[in-house]
Amino acid sequence: MKFNIRLKQLRLDHKLTQSDLADILGLKPTAISNYESQRNEPSFEKLIMLSDYFEVSCDYLLGITDSYLPVGGEILDRDIVEVFDMYQQLDKEHVDELKKFTEYLLYKQNLSL
């Protein structure tokens, strides 16, 4: 996934407008719009600011890795990353449904042991 898409996804997940995020980071109001539309790319300094604010790695923001955050220095299994990426796209209501469904699957799995 490209930087512009990841940035927009993180911003929307945090329920921020482009102007809100620019204000929080001390950037010009058009900066975030330009990043998301691929008109400009952030400097290293601004990339680190975005990474720190959203608490993700720069590698994740840049699309180098699908790992949201390093987990004990280990590379995450591709299936875990795929499920996590889908999870990130869910709203609160559907996250709750996913948790209930997962609990059901675990219950069902334990019955067959």
Residues 11 and 54 in one domain: yes
Residues 22 and 48 in one domain: yes
Question: Is 99 among the domain residues?
Answer: yes
Count structural domains, the chain: 2
Residues 57 and 81 in one domain: no
Residues 81 and 112 in one domain: yes
Q: What spatial distance separates the first Cα and last Cα of the chain, rounded to whole Å? A: 39
Q: Which domain holds residue 94?
A: 77-113
| Confidence category of residue 67, pLDDT binned at 50, 70, 90 | low
pLDDT at 77 over 70: no
Residues 113 and 59 in one domain: no
The residue ranking higher by pLDDT, 57 or 53, is 53
